[in-house]
Structure 1
Amino acid sequence: MQTTGHTEETDKRSWKEFLLNLFRLTAKPTVKVYHGYGHDNCLTVFGHVFKLSPYPRKKYRQHFLRNTLALLRLFLIKPFAGADVQLEWKGKQHNAKTDADGFFKFEWNDEEPFECGWFPVNVIASVNKKQIASSTGRVYIPHTTQYVFISDIDDTFLISHSSNLRKRLWVLFTENARSRRPFEGVVRHYQLLAQSNTTEDAPNPFFYVSSSEWNLYEYILEFTAVNELPRGIFLLSQLKQFSQLLKTGQNNHGTKFTRIVRILQAFPHQRVILLGDSSQQDPYIYESIVQHYPKQVHAVYIRDVFQRNYEKVREVLNRIEASGVACLLFKHSDEAILHSVKIGLIAPSDAEKKLSAAQNEIPKMAQSF
């Protein structure tokens, strides 16, 4: 005969399994490996280990409730602190340990030959020398190109309404990574920049640096892939728990400066182009970057999405421009394409190919610069 205690324990376990299945969560340890990158002979790979995490989304039906639940699931996580993680690269093992947030980071030097491109890396998580989970990620080793592009995400290429809390949350909760839309023309601009002064098989590296949290990594990765934005490296902000959901994308601007500085230090010989928007702190962060690294920053692009900030942002960009860095405050990406033609980032012939026949005013408009 079953005891009362045993029955209660079984009931609790059944309810837990029911709730996990309802929200498509797993209580099994998991490893998430984000896109890493290499430069010179140094490689960097980072990720998280979780005790509780959502399964990847497979169906993208445009349904209010499905989209809301899918968004909520991304914040129903429990990090695995203190786990040992191992990465193998060219027969050598590298070791790290997760911090209180479940985050891990590998940095190591490679040996020649140092090939360029995307390469798989396998990461294993262990506790007391017993493997609990593993996952494969990818590390990108860019070709030696003239430029590095660093772009914000929300309201820079992804329409997010960051300056309006109600609209921002409505879009976040009711849309999904495949139904969200980029600004008109931004994909053309980014694709052209990826090929700027290089060849198709050796694109310029793109880094997407955002105040959005790592919770949204798969969401943003899916959006960029579906919309054919240049494949790149994501440097996002610290994980948020479910109780912090309404603050997503907020109050992480200080660390954004640090993340951008790391990229500039990793690629000291490339010219850097910064792309952001006027809704929050991008102009001020970029001004500080230019002050610290004036010889590396080649151009600054700010999308004008918040009219109330126009005059302040214009003043910031005037100061940046006075230091010798090309700047543009723009509403439509066609303006940015034309500016990129003007300063030599994009060849006029390449721009003409990307613009539609209805918009093909490059030869006439370029003369006005």
Structure 2
Amino acid sequence: MSLPWVTIVPYRSFGVAEQLFVKGRVLYDRPLPPASAADPIWKNFYHMLRRLNSREVSGARVEILFGDQRWQAVADDEGYFTLRLPLAQPVDPARVWHTVWVRLVGPLARNAPVQAVAEVLTPPPSARFAVISDIDDTILQSHAASLLRSFVATFFGNAQTRLPFAGVAALYQALWRGVSSVEMNPIFYVSSSPWNFYDFLVEFMERCQLPAGPMFLHDYGLRRLFGALSHRHKLKPVRWLLETYPHLPFVLIGDSGQKDPELYSELVQEHPRRIAAILIRDVSGRRRDRVVDDLSESARARGVPMRRVADSVQAAEFVAALGLIPAEAVEGVRRAVREEE
């Protein structure tokens, strides 16, 4: 019997000077090719089915290398491995991204040696704040409120044809740069999308020139279906980030279509002094708007600016007024919106 093809999929992760976190997955499959805007819809549909029908390597053993240090990890039943890397020497504070090598130790593979590079972010000393952003209907137009439209967009589009909201890249680049243009404020992405869509999301963000950042997605399955629908799983990585970076205030960005306003309001109650601002993109109707506005008023009563915005220009004006981005960056976002629309 011939040996299988094995692929390591490392996920962008995060850390601090003294320790890094590494997460990834080991699969029995070849990586999908990059998407093209000319790809027919049947090909997009087939690739999405392949992503969802992943074949995990349960119990795979990987070796993780950073500098002169080595660690080993064992994948769980669904192929995931997660490891905390305590470092003998702190990382270079001037570097934002660090390269960690991941190598397959077992099982044997047809394409041996199997190895991949994991990118790990550590916020630089220049960072004044961090951003946590939702993806679907916040960055990526997903039409989550309509099951049919969401299905069509997800399964028949690809990373080259799916649409971002106008001006969102210019807004996030401005947040990354900050007032001084060299702050390099880290941006983290949290979503209810499954980890199976990770490669699609990376390709989409690179095409749209969104700042690279660690992602926290969701592991689907019947037992986790309720958690995916309630979106409460998003709270765990946000709390983890708040704990990991106690010196940084956080800007939370989401949309009104699902539960982001409620989840962010819960975080305000827990950590009012840690939240610098909350932005909610308005993608819903008037009844939902009233709920979001009431939550915004409650957040402001606790000292946290929270606003429902219609577009990226209003979002830029809001964060500029708070001193998070320079006033001239608003015009850059406005120009990007005009060009992209």
Partner of 1:18: none
CA–CA distance in structure 2, aligned partners of residues 147 and 45 of structure 1: 23
Report the alpha carbon displacement of residue 248 of structure 1 after superposing the two structures with TM.
Answer: 12
Aligned-residue sequence identity (percent) comes to 29
How far apart, CA to CA, are the structure 1 residues paired with 2:82 and 2:16? 16
Which secondary structure state, in structure 2, belongs to the residue aligned with residue 312 of structure 1?
helix
Q: What is residue 5 of structure 1 aligned with on the other side? A: none
- The SS at the match of 2:46 is helix
Tell me how large the CA RMSD over aligned residues is: 2.6
Which of the pair has the greater relative contact order for Cα pairs under 8 Å at 6+ separation? Answer: 2
Tell me the number of residue pairs that the alignment of Structure 1 and Structure 2 aligns: 330
Give secondary structure in 2 for the equivalent of 1:67.
helix
In structure 1, distance between residues paired with 2:337 and 2:121:
37
Unaligned ranges ≥5, structure 2: none
Distance 1:337 1:67, change over 3 A: same
Q: What code does the residue aligned with 1:286 have?
A: Y
Q: Which residue of 2 is the match for residue 186 of structure 1?
A: 168
One-letter code of the match for 1:213?
Answer: P
- Provide the residue aligned with 2:156 in structure 1: 174
1:114-153 equivalences in 2 (<5 Å): 114-115=91-92, 116-127=95-106, 133-144=114-125, 145-153=127-135
Could you tell me which residue of structure 1 aligns to residue 275 of structure 2?
297
Aligned to 2:57: 80
Hey, what does 1:350 align to over in structure 2? 329
**Given that residues 75 and 240 in structure 1 are in contact (C-alpha distance below 8 angstroms), is that contact kept between their aligned partners in structure 2?**
no
Q: What's the secondary structure of 2:43's corresponding residue? A: helix
Partner of 1:263: 241
User: TM-score, normalising length from structure 1?
Assistant: 0.83
Whole-Å Cα distance in 1 between the matches of residues 18 and 67 of structure 2?
13
- Alignment match of 1:225 (pick from 178, 197, 206): 206
Secondary structure of the equivalent of 1:251?
A: helix
- Does the CA contact (< 8 Å) of 1:54 and 1:73 recur in 2? no
CA distance in 2, matches of 1:225, 1:279: 25
Q: CA deviation at 1:258?
A: 0.5
Structure 1: which 4+ aligned runs deviate by more than 6 Å? 128-132
Distance 1:221 1:70 in 2: 15
> How many angstroms does 1:29 deviate by?
2.0
Q: Which residue of 2 aligns with 1:56?
A: 32
Find the counterpart in structure 2 of residue 105 from structure 1: 82
Distance in structure 2 (CA, Å) of the matches to 1:219 and 1:309: 30
Partner of 1:366: none
Task: Give the aligned partner of residue 299 of structure 2.
Answer: 320
User: Which residue does the alignment assign to 1:36?
Assistant: 13
Q: For 2:229, what is the secondary structure of its paired residue?
A: coil
- Residue pair 1:57, 1:70 contacting (<8 A) in 2 also: no
Aligned to 2:251: 273
SS of structure 2 residue aligned to 1:192 = helix
CA distance in 1: counterparts of 2:152 and 2:4, whole angstroms:
29
The CA deviation at 1:134 is 2.4
Q: 1:164 aligns with which of 146, 156, 173?
A: 146
Contact 2:312 2:337 in 1 (8 A): no
Larger Rg: 1
1:333-366 per-position Cα deviation (integer Å, ceiling 9, x unaligned): 111111111111121123334432997xxxxxxx
The Cα of 1:133 is off from its aligned counterpart by 3.2
In structure 2, what is the Cα distance between the partners aligned to 1:345 and 1:149? Answer: 11
Partner in structure 1 of residue 190 of structure 2 = 209
The letter for the 2-side match of 1:150 is I
Conserved? CA contact 2:5–2:30, under 8 Å: no
Distance of 1:222 and 1:357 partners within structure 2: 20
